[in-house]
Structure 1
Amino acid sequence: MTKIAIFDYGAGNIFSLKNALEKQNATVEVQTQADTLTEYDGIFLPGVGNFDPAIQSINRNSADFLKVVGKIPVFGICLGMEMFFEKSQEGKEKGLGIISGDVVVLPDTLKVPHMGWNALEIKKESKILEGVENNSWVYFVHSYRVNPATQDVVVAESDYDIKVPAIVQKDNYFGTQFHPEKSGDVGALMLKNFLRECSK
């Protein structure tokens, strides 16, 4: 059985993610100490909280998060994905710097936070998208969007007046701006695909 860690930044509200993963027969533990993450087959950085406290929590609990994680598959959801980048307009702390680029607030032409279902425009193949059809609908709740330095990390976009990177991937890091745990069968399939990667 695949052993998964959800890293808790102290924001709570991760029950729905834990529940969604357990429905896929994963063994799920919530962790607050980043240095224990080497014991797991996969890691989730959940989508609840604020940028600076979340980064501070990781830095406080790990000498070097990237070295701790190594080649373990990591799935960042919303804020978790935003932390992959170098910096965010939401805070002053440096991001993890896994992906070049920054995180910017959604334009004031949109209602913020943006909440609702949007279609995925798939740009390239990804292991977590196997079996997911183009234009599948997923559920977003966010006030910021990622702004990668290059488009080669963007796996899928959503379009609501602006193009928003919806899925990014670099090496063993997978990120979604939307919440797969709240995205019905489509989100469940992505989680299942990720767990399959974790069990390899």
Structure 2
Amino acid sequence: MNIVIINYGAGNIQSIMFALQRLGLNAVLSNNPEEIKAADKVIFPGVGEASSAMKMLVESGLDTLIPTLKQPVLGICLGMQLMCKSSEEGDTKGLGIFNVDVIKFSNKVKVPQMGWNQIYNLKSSLFREITDNEYMYLVHSYYAPLCNEAVATTNYEVEYASALQNNNFYGTQFHPEKSGDVGEQILANFLKL
């Protein structure tokens, strides 16, 4: 299986590579449009700040490529947020794959949300063999509100979408690659799509 991790300078790439290796698979790091288009599966990671990450996508032309991909694509953390319409972080226009705007948690809670929290209302083949209320690892200050494309929910001050799906595009706010056996099952499920 040909797995490409999009390499645009804002990714948590090593931990994803290690998680895939534990599943017996290797991935290619690439920002080459032809390599990305030819992949069986694409992982779109992200760590850092939305506007600077989007700037790197625009500079490499990946902002126009990613929404046109036809194979299963998994956005993780900031990757998922960049697939939304916009983010309040740096007043960033997103890729518009998910029809939701990313907003910041209020100052009533500790920001970022950092650590383990539960996912429930699971509604996607991404969560085959996963039961409600499993704990996943999260680090984020911004979130996607619940919307039609939400396929998992988490509660931190408010209920929000901790996973999204639109056709072949999937996104997780949590880090499956840092979430133990359950996270690895979610990655394995993605790779079987």
Q: Quick check: 1:65 aligned with 2:65? A: yes
Shift of 1:44: 0.9
Moved more, 55-64 or 83-92: 55-64
Relative to structure 1, the CA distance from residue 92 to residue 36 in structure 2 (aligned partners, 3 Å threshold; closer, same or farther) is farther
**What's 1:112 paired with?**
111
Gapped runs of 5+ residues in structure 1?
A: none
Relative to structure 1, the CA distance from residue 159 to residue 68 in structure 2 (aligned partners, 3 Å threshold; closer, same or farther) is closer
TM-score for the superposition, normalised by structure 1: 0.89
Q: Give % identity.
A: 38
**What's 1:181 paired with?**
177
Letter in 2 for 1:60: E
Match of 1:132 among 89, 112, 130: 130
**What's 2:31 paired with?**
32
CA deviation vs aligned residue, 1:85-119 (integer Å, no higher than 9, x gap) = 11111123421011112111111111111101111
TM-score for the superposition, normalised by structure 2: 0.92
**What's 2:77 paired with?**
78
Secondary structure of the corresponding residue to residue 122 of structure 1: coil
Q: Quick check: 1:42 aligned with 2:41? A: yes
CA RMSD of aligned residues (A): 1.7
Secondary structure of the corresponding residue to residue 144 of structure 2: strand
Shift of 1:123: 4.4
Gapped runs of 5+ residues in structure 2?
A: none
Shift of 1:12: 4.9
Partner Cα separation in structure 2 for residue 12 and residue 170 of structure 1? 22
Shift of 1:46: 0.8
Given that 1:82 and 1:145 are in contact with CA atoms closer than 8 Å, whether structure 2 keeps it comes out as yes
Shift of 1:35: 4.7
